[in-house]
Amino acid sequence: MTTLQRIRPYLWILFITCVVAGGEYYFYRFSFDVDNSFLISRAVTFASGVWSLVLIIALILHRGWARYMMIFGIIFAIALFALITMLMNQESVAFLSRPTKAALKGMALFAVALIPLWASRSLQRHCGPLTAGGRTPM
């Protein structure tokens, strides 16, 4: 394995970490906005942040299940925040209020984080099992 092949999965993990952190920031802004009347969004933001951190650490530690759990967790968080945003906008007169824009930005960043998690071959090999023809231990 070349040096670039060893470093590439960690670069993807760094990219995913930055994008998920940006999404969590926008979800935080959405949850603690004055116009947001749904207090459950704060709990969803906290749970999403904690589990994102746990799963990113598991990705770094070569856990194969972490990639699948991260994909599921991101899709689940997008669905929950979309539901909360739709319920909140039923009460609102403005089409794209400040909290709605923050939630949309967070969901977009989470969707961007899904791309390398799903499509990156180097990340798949990084999280794959040690086999005779597979990756070598670091």
65-103 confidence digits (pLDDT tens): 999 999 999 999 999 999 999 988 887 666 778 899 999
Question: How far apart are the C-alpha atoms of 99 and 27, rounded to whole Å?
Answer: 9
Rounded percentage of the chain residues whose pLDDT exceeds 70: 91
Of residues 134 and 118, more confidence is placed in 118
Going by C-beta distance under 8 Å and a sequence separation of 6 or more, which residues neighbour residue 125?
9, 134, 135
Whole-model pTM over 0.85: yes
How far is the C-alpha of 66 from the C-alpha of 8, rounded, in Å? 18
- pLDDT band for position 138 (cuts 50, 70, 90): low
Give the pLDDT mean for 19-48: 94
List CB contacts of 14: < 8 A, sequence separation 6 or more.
Answer: none
pLDDT of 111 > 90? The answer is yes
The whole-number average pLDDT for the span 55-68 is 93
Q: How high is the pLDDT of residue 47?
A: 96
